[in-house]
Amino acid sequence: MKGKILILDDNKSVLTALEMLLQTEFSDVFTLRNPNSLLATIQQHQIDVVLLDMNFKAGINTGNEGFYWLHQIQKLDPTISVVMITAYGDVALAVKAVKEGAFDFILKPWDNSKLKSTLHASLEHRKLKVENAKLVTSSSLLKQELNQAFQSIIGQSQPMKDVMEMVKKVAATDANIFINGENGTGKELIAREIHRYSKRRNEIMLSVDIGSLSESLFESELFGHTKGSFTDAREDRTGKFETADRGTLFLDEIGNLPLSLQAKLLTSLQNRTIVKLGSNTPVPINIRLISATNRDLNEMIKQGLFREDLFYRINTISLELPPLRERGNDVLLLAEFYLHKYRAKYDKPGIKIGQKAGDKLLKYSWPGNVRELQHCIEKAVILADTNVLTEKCFDLNGPGSIQKMDFQNMTIEEMELEMIQASIEKEKGNMSAVAKKLGITRPTLYKKLKKLDD
């Protein structure tokens, strides 16, 4: 990649000479005699290097205009390399410009060889700054990911053994993985396990909750945007695809992706490139894609709600997660895991689950799966008056039982959770229908679920 250079000088002869000299050194050479369209040109053409004259008006040698536009470029994009071009008598001003952020300066008349060398170095400097900006973003996101408590897969039932055997088989490949399962079955945990066993395990894994993204934010979140590409785009932003480069990207709830956006996702996956909002330049991506949903995509394809070509693109290998009701004694293993967690959190070290209470947990169908079990254990620990959790500590009423709840002994958050879970069960996991029933937006619903998971 040779990069793009913009030359700004009020002397037409200078512009012509420099354009001819540099046309083989850069992929694109742009010239301007007037700085008024400087910033627009930089944004439109994704300029890497600016060769900027210190003065634009005859007889004025203060360099004020050069300094002004240098600072404007830095505000627009601090990664752009700016090389000042000036007459011999203005060396002191050029040195000051370097101290204020310019990469270097060139004197008129210039030496062709030295000028090319300086500009090549400035382009390399630009590339390094761009890479560093990406690393800073990746590092920040990686810290967020690592700060999440790692949870291994808990389960000794045959259905879970079959799942884990498949995970280890497919993890070593780069094949796209599709995970299907009811809400609360642990789809993201399985995705993390695949990443942990993969060749990309030393790179970042990013999770994107498709269901919580509005259509207006979809492209910006996934593909990134350039400064000024829309009203609130105050700076360049690297999207999730680019940040996850060389690593794994997990797209959760992909069944909730509107048809209008499915084509954009398919194009990126087919071309292995993304185009940021406000840019026309394709950016290559190298990711391992894992997708998940609780919805029946085959049925959605029949109804014209999901693109068949996108389904085949994301579904090289398919994993079906068993619901908790089919996992036998895994219920008790998970119950003990969460009991240990909440004993520590609420400083109740002596609490244990009684025999009859354990039997009750085993007999329940768990329509909300592991997530429901987790909240059930937490609630029981919070309300426990003794060290043994009895049958009465677990109010497992099932779907349609909101009116039977003991509101006097519940917090607002607990009541909210019960209502959400009951709605999820009634609507069979259709989150759009759940949100409509509860009178909230789908992103708000996902935020509440995530908050209650913390």
- Tokens 């259905």 belong to residue: 159
Dist. CA 154–CA 335, nearest whole Å: 10
* Per-residue pLDDT, 138: 65
Using pLDDT thresholds of 50, 70 and 90, give the confidence band for residue 147: very low
| Model confidence pLDDT, tens digit, residues 174-190 | 999 999 999 899 999 99
Lowest model confidence (mean pLDDT) among 174-178, 303-307, 389-393, 402-406: 402-406
User: What is the rounded end-to-end Cα distance, in angstroms, of the chain?
Assistant: 45
- 371 class by beta-carbon count within 10 Å (0-12 exposed, 13-18 middle, 19+ buried): buried
* Per-residue pLDDT, 403: 38
Number of residues written out for the chain:
454
| Model confidence pLDDT, tens digit, residues 36-79 | 899 999 988 989 999 998 876 655 556 688 888 999 999 998 99
Q: How far is CA 224 from CA 94, 134, 154, 314, 322, in A?
A: 35, 12, 36, 21, 36
Is residue 100 within 8 A of residue 67, CB to CB? The reply is yes
Dist. CA 328–CA 160, nearest whole Å: 10
Domains for the chain: give ranges and CATH numbers. 4-130 (3.40.50.2300), 148-320 (3.40.50.300), 324-453 (1.10.8.60)
Dist. CA 326–CA 257, nearest whole Å: 29
pLDDT greater than 90 at residue 152:
no
Average pLDDT over residues 197-222: 86
